[in-house]
Amino acid sequence: MTIIVKNKDTLIYDDFEFKCCIGKNGFTKTKIEGDGKTPIGKFSLGDLYYRKDKKRKPNTKLKIVEIKKNMGWCDDFKLKDYYNKLINLNSNIKGEKLFRRDYKYDFFIPIKYNWRNPTPGKGSAIFIHLTKNFKPTAGCITMAEKDFLILAKLIEKNTKIKIL
């Protein structure tokens, strides 16, 4: 089965339709780091990351990764070897902090956009993560926590996401 992001506020999986939000500048076929757009295409999903100190382990068939204080996601396009990959923030690598004070990354699933042999500058850290207000994102797809947990329970490691 495939998750379908039908438009800027609708995500569909099987018989389920969820409210979602995308990048503040809409969709694009030519993603650039920092453009505020959500990439169009069909992509695999990564593991499910979660904050064990704040949330219970989710019920899912995906591999689950506990978010630690030093974890980040490299968005520095000058660092080709690390770009769009999980990193240790104790190093001198610029990255998106995953252990946040807010709730947005209490649960998230990376979308494998620009994943294998990533091209620096073509976009990084594209996730399905949490929202409470459905404000547009920097390029990610957001969902309410209750909907995210329903989706996480339904999908499997070979589930794809198609962003139209």
Per-residue pLDDT of the chain in tens (164 residues, 90 and over written 9): 899 998 999 999 999 999 999 999 999 999 999 999 999 999 999 999 999 999 999 999 999 999 999 999 999 888 889 999 999 987 677 789 999 999 999 999 999 999 999 999 999 999 999 999 999 999 999 999 999 999 999 999 999 999 99
C-alpha count within 13 angstroms, C-beta hemisphere, residue 30 = 0
- The separation between the first and the last C-alpha atoms of the chain, rounded to the nearest angstrom, is 16
| Token reading at 9 | 């506020």
**Which pLDDT belongs to residue 34?**
94
What confidence score (pLDDT) does residue 121 get? 95
DSSP letter (8 states) at residue 83:
T
To which residue do tokens 């969902």 refer? 143
What pLDDT shows up at residue 95? Answer: 87
pLDDT of residue 90: 72
pLDDT for position 89? 87
| pLDDT (0 to 100) of residue 92 | 76
Domain boundaries, the chain: 2-163
CATH number (2.40.440.10, 2.40.160.60, 1.25.40.10, 3.30.70.2190) of 2-163 reads 2.40.440.10
65 with 47: CB under 8 angstroms?
yes
Sequence length of the chain is: 164
- Residue 65 and residue 153: Cα distance in Å, rounded? 15
